[in-house]
Structure 1
Amino acid sequence: MRPRPARRPAGPAALVALLAGLLAVAGCTPAVQQETVTPGPSTAAAAPADGDVAAQELVWTDCADLECATARVPLDWAEPEGETIGVALTRHAATGERLGTLFINPGGPGASGVDYVPAALAEFSDTLLASYDVVGFDPRGVGLSTPVDCVDDAELDVLTATDLDTSDAGLTEAAATWGAVGAQCLERTGPLLEHVDTVSAARDLDLLRTLVGDETLTYLGFSYGTQLGATYAALFPERVGRLVLDGALDPTLTSTEVSAGQAAGFEGALRAYVAYCQGQDTCPLDGDVEDGLAQVRTLLDKATAAPLTTGQDRRLTSALAFSGIAATLYSQASWDLLTQGLTAAITRGDGSVLLALSDAYYQRDAEGRYTSNMFEAFWSIGCADSRAPADVAEMRAAAAEVEAAAPTVGPWFSYGGVTCAQWPTPVAEPLPSYAAEGAAPILVVGTTNDPATPYAWAEKLATTLSSGVLLTFEGEGHTAYRASNTCIADVVDAYLVEGTVPADGTRC
């Protein structure tokens, strides 16, 4: 298994409305409602000739209530005058006295910054929207930018539903399966597959900064977006303006450390949920918290042995069940929906609710279509950036440590080495340092019980960056800005709008 994608979910109210809507029709696989902004037809025609990327002028066209453009960036930054690819952007113009451009990234890797802009406009403060053009972009390989393409919808159904066999033969078969997926990615995507690494995306971001006319980068990155932002800072410390990195993923972490950290993070979030659930009259988990966690693990084990019925031709495997559970742990506001799913599964053997939650997580609609390429990009970027050990003995030793720290969810974060073991393109060279010496103060935001990007990572990133300043939200959920309390929002806004740097270690 690979780690969970680290992406910013919708704000609490939007997340509950989305997932609740998905569950309204019992036994049916619901559509995921997404507002997708498509660049206008004239933007591609405005692209410059290959080799002239720095001289291009972005042509913004109306798309819905926003503006869209497509930038051209080098396919391979080692050959900046060679072949180019497209990077899609969406802009909301500042409503007041403009300070510059705020680039935003919701994470993943593989989540769409273009799609995130409408949600950001609903979440961000009026002060922030007045001060900045808000620009979302799809990193290379993602969404409306030149995308990676690996599998069709039916094949993705199989990949997301398959429970990993951890026998020697099962691991060998899994590595071969993912090797075949990688080969198909390369066949469908072409040379781009070798160049979807985060360092290349950070170089793209610097070109985008230049094209909008800003001398320094102002940036708000969530989840994986913090890795992208930290990589930018390491490459271009003198061009760092005001960077906010919320839900930190430190680039110096190994794949094994990421898996172990996320396992512990989701275990902690699940533990907090069980304590909450057992205080409600409708909770299907009895006894104390340890008993409740054991009942969740029993459900997952049962789904492995005999996948649950769902009222349709798809059954709920343990892989799908865990994805449905994980989807609700990104925000405390969705915990009651998890109670609905567990109640149906535990008391009636009905997996339809957890399947609906899993489909929401994977962005699968009622017709069986995946509405983005996020997970294909997630695998491709992940394998381009780093490789977990694929040696069976090493994976077993790591899995034992993970399961000791996270006995309920640990198996779903183990054996990640199989995914990239036979990937057809080489791993990118890491940067020699991520200290970003000489950069202006960078605000790192961490949530104490964040499941997807554990708080310890925010602490680490704040120390990895020579100018890192740690801001802490004491609470639940993945990321904090505009998803927690007014204290966090006010501190971040003051930093972005006024340049006020909080004291290192500020807690809200």
Structure 2
Amino acid sequence: MFSLAFHRFIFATIYITITLAAEFHWQKFQVPLDYSAPQNGSASIAIARYPSTSPKAQYRGPILFNPGGLGGSGVDAIVDNGAAFASVFGDEFDIMGFDPRGISYSTPTISFFTSDAERRFLIPSTTTILYPSLNASSNALGTVWAQNQLLGKLALARDTDDILQHISTDNIARDMLRISEAFGSESCNTGVFREYGSVLGATFATLFPDKVGRIIIDGVFKMKSYFTSNMTSMIEDVDASLEEFFEGCHGAGPEICPFYEPTVSAISAKQDAVTESVKQQPIAVVTPGSYGLMDVGFLRNTVLEALFDPYDDVTGFVPLGKSLAALAKGDATLIYNQSAVPTFECSASNSTTLHENNLEAYMTIGCGDAVQINDTLAELQDYWVGGLKHPCLLRASIPYSSGAVGAKNVSFPLLLVGNRLDAGTAHAGAVQTAEAFPGSVVLTQDSLGHTSLVAPSQCLWGYPREYFVNGTLPAVGTSCPIDIELENSQRLGEEVDGCRVGDQQSCAQDYSRRVL
């Protein structure tokens, strides 16, 4: 059966100025750039705070948020969702989002490019080029390897102030402690949501086990894999997630899933045939807002996006079934529109704030944390999967620091959250990380998709406040269902428990009324 649910929190990037809405506080917080030599300059950490409204006697300190990325902006996340987080966790806390050093509004900001125009020239914003299929042709892997060599050399050449060596997770964890202490908290209460945030939360608990107040991490990395630059194990749930799409399509029937075939195996074979078809003959697509090629790389990334957010009304399983059916008939417009990027328009001033630096964050933090790889192209053949291998072989002289994650003596157990099947951060990551911090508990959301934020769950969201306020952990083995489901007899546009299926805003508002 298809389940259709909606984002409880939408992490949208918005451009802000020093003057925010009245309910938010904005500031820059100074920390040493190099903690081993604090006299050698500082970094400014951008913070957006949705302040506590409780009396001083009831104030419990800040809850820090990192939305993941590796380059996600905590400032943007809180400006967009601070009030909702406060409703969940309580007004005893400051709800604070911070941009890690070097990222987004924090300074110095890392960038390999001098303008957005240069960025788009070297790294075009299309799914096909940014995340290419590495077996699309005999030289695909070699081409990507060379492109990343270029980026690595460019990064080193433009790091004239030697900033990159200080942009690492251990330093960001130290920044978190400084921020918490500055706001009167001797320990760190941290809601760390989405993928990379799990590394940050686990690193903090490893470095400062006696400073752990409450830490929630969602969409948990396999820490050993991350710190050894091997991201392939992170996606071990992909095949099972795709199989659920095939089974869901078969169960829903041809009216909801036009990609339907009489058996699950026939749907799988049909998917293989469509993939091979566009691999051999890509399809040109022109739409009012974009144009490009529907090739095997674009197709695979669009399918992966659906596995990340299967309940979404634009990119999820329901639209994917319709798009694949059209593609099987030679019409690539629907599936292209699921991942199409608007054409880039260069302004006359050719200037940019370089606010979105996810690429630089990915390479700088990920490679700064991990062991260095010096594999040859031939040696990479056995390990490089789908573009998710850290390109750290490109980082010839950027120092790194890494180590085992875990501590037996944390002052309070961690709460780890993972979906039953997560195409981006396999559930096993939560289990392994919990084992590294004895007493910690895994809370499972019985859903597909990437992190628990992919779908609303009254059951799941009842636990964070109990954990933060009372220190109550769920029982070992607890699994929570999601709330808004589309059974195979329902259609987009119908209402489910007062929520109009296909309308994210109305569903989110209804969910807020019922849960918060």
TM-score computed with the length of structure 2 as normaliser: 0.77
After superposition, give the CA deviation of every residue in 1:358-404 in whole Å (9 maximum; x if it has no partner).
Answer: 35xxxx555468972223312222222225573445433346xxxxx
Q: Which among 375, 390, 401 is matched to residue 390 of structure 1? A: 375
Please, which moves more after superposition, 171-180 or 456-465? 171-180
* Number of equivalenced pairs: 445
Q: Measured at CA, do residues 224 and 161 of structure 1 come closer, stay the same or move farther in structure 2, by a change above 3 Å?
A: closer
Q: For residues 389 and 276 of structure 1, what CA distance do their matches in structure 2 show?
A: 43
Partner of 1:68: 26
Give the superposition deviation at 1:172: 4.3
Matched-pair contact (CA < 8 Å) for 2:90–2:465: no
Q: For residues 59 and 67 of structure 2, what CA distance do their matches in structure 1 show?
A: 23
Q: For residues 302 and 468 of structure 2, what CA distance do their matches in structure 1 show?
A: 35
After superposition, give the CA deviation of every residue in 1:446-490 in whole Å (9 maximum; x if it has no partner).
Answer: 211111111111110000123422222222222226834222111
Q: Measured at CA, do residues 480 and 170 of structure 1 come closer, stay the same or move farther in structure 2, by a change above 3 Å?
A: closer
Q: Measured at CA, do residues 302 and 503 of structure 1 come closer, stay the same or move farther in structure 2, by a change above 3 Å?
A: same
Q: Which among 27, 38, 47 is matched to residue 80 of structure 1? A: 38
Q: Measured at CA, do residues 155 and 63 of structure 1 come closer, stay the same or move farther in structure 2, by a change above 3 Å?
A: farther
Q: For residues 295 and 256 of structure 1, what CA distance do their matches in structure 2 show?
A: 37
Partner of 1:314: 292
Q: Measured at CA, do residues 93 and 394 of structure 1 come closer, stay the same or move farther in structure 2, by a change above 3 Å?
A: same
Q: Measured at CA, do residues 255 and 268 of structure 1 come closer, stay the same or move farther in structure 2, by a change above 3 Å?
A: farther
Partner of 2:258: 283
1:421 aligns with 2:393: yes
Q: Which amino acid aligns with 1:337?
A: P
Matched-pair contact (CA < 8 Å) for 1:108–1:378: yes
Q: Which amino acid aligns with 1:412?
A: G
Q: Which among 268, 286, 307 is matched to residue 240 of structure 2? A: 268
Q: Which among 413, 431, 436 is matched to residue 459 of structure 1? A: 431
Q: Which amino acid aligns with 1:448?
A: R
Partner of 2:338: 357
Q: For residues 72 and 166 of structure 1, what CA distance do their matches in structure 2 show?
A: 47
Give the superposition deviation at 1:119: 4.3
Partner of 1:328: 306
Q: For residues 355 and 427 of structure 1, what CA distance do their matches in structure 2 show?
A: 40
Q: For residues 463 and 123 of structure 1, what CA distance do their matches in structure 2 show?
A: 31
After superposition, give the CA deviation of every residue in 1:133-153 in whole Å (9 maximum; x if it has no partner).
Answer: 111111122211232213512
Counterparts of 1:31-430 in structure 2, within 5 Å, are 34-36=12-14, 38-40=16-18, 62-63=20-21, 65-96=23-54, 97-121=58-82, 123-124=84-85, 126-146=87-107, 147-151=109-113, 152-157=119-124, 159-160=129-130, 162-164=132-134, 171-190=141-160, 191-222=162-193, 223-254=195-226, 259-278=231-250, 279-280=252-253, 281=255, 282-311=257-286, 312-334=290-312, 335-350=317-332, 352-359=333-340, 365=342, 367=344, 372-386=356-370, 387=372, 390-398=375-383, 411-412=385-386, 416=389, 419-430=391-402
Q: Which amino acid aligns with 1:322?
A: R
Matched-pair contact (CA < 8 Å) for 1:285–1:295: no
Give the superposition deviation at 1:37: 5.0
Partner of 1:27: none
Partner of 1:406: none
Q: For residues 426 and 463 of structure 1, what CA distance do their matches in structure 2 show?
A: 31
Matched-pair contact (CA < 8 Å) for 2:6–2:454: no
Q: For residues 53 and 285 of structure 2, what CA distance do their matches in structure 1 show?
A: 48
Q: Measured at CA, do residues 128 and 288 of structure 1 come closer, stay the same or move farther in structure 2, by a change above 3 Å?
A: same
TM-score computed with the length of structure 1 as normaliser: 0.78
SS at match of 1:397: coil
Q: Measured at CA, do residues 298 and 80 of structure 1 come closer, stay the same or move farther in structure 2, by a change above 3 Å?
A: farther
SS at match of 2:446: strand
After superposition, give the CA deviation of every residue in 1:66-88 in whole Å (9 maximum; x if it has no partner).
Answer: 22111222222222221222221
Flag structure 1 segments of 5+ consecutive residues without an equivalent.
1-10, 19-32, 41-60, 400-410
Partner of 1:44: none
Q: For residues 421 and 499 of structure 1, what CA distance do their matches in structure 2 show?
A: 43
Q: Measured at CA, do residues 353 and 436 of structure 1 come closer, stay the same or move farther in structure 2, by a change above 3 Å?
A: farther
Flag structure 2 segments of 5+ consecutive residues without an equivalent.
114-118, 347-353, 481-516
Give the superposition deviation at 1:104: 0.8
Q: For residues 154 and 462 of structure 1, what CA distance do their matches in structure 2 show?
A: 43
Q: Which amino acid aligns with 1:207?
A: R
Please, which moves more after superposition, 164-173 or 448-457? 164-173
1:486 aligns with 2:497: no
Name the Cα RMSD after superposition: 3.1
Q: Measured at CA, do residues 148 and 264 of structure 1 come closer, stay the same or move farther in structure 2, by a change above 3 Å?
A: same
Q: Measured at CA, do residues 492 and 355 of structure 1 come closer, stay the same or move farther in structure 2, by a change above 3 Å?
A: same
Partner of 1:405: none
Q: Which amino acid aligns with 1:13?
A: F
Q: Which amino acid aligns with 1:262?
A: M
SS at match of 2:419: strand
Q: Which is richer in helix?
A: 1
After superposition, give the CA deviation of every residue in 1:321-353 in whole Å (9 maximum; x if it has no partner).
Answer: 222222222233122232343234332331x44
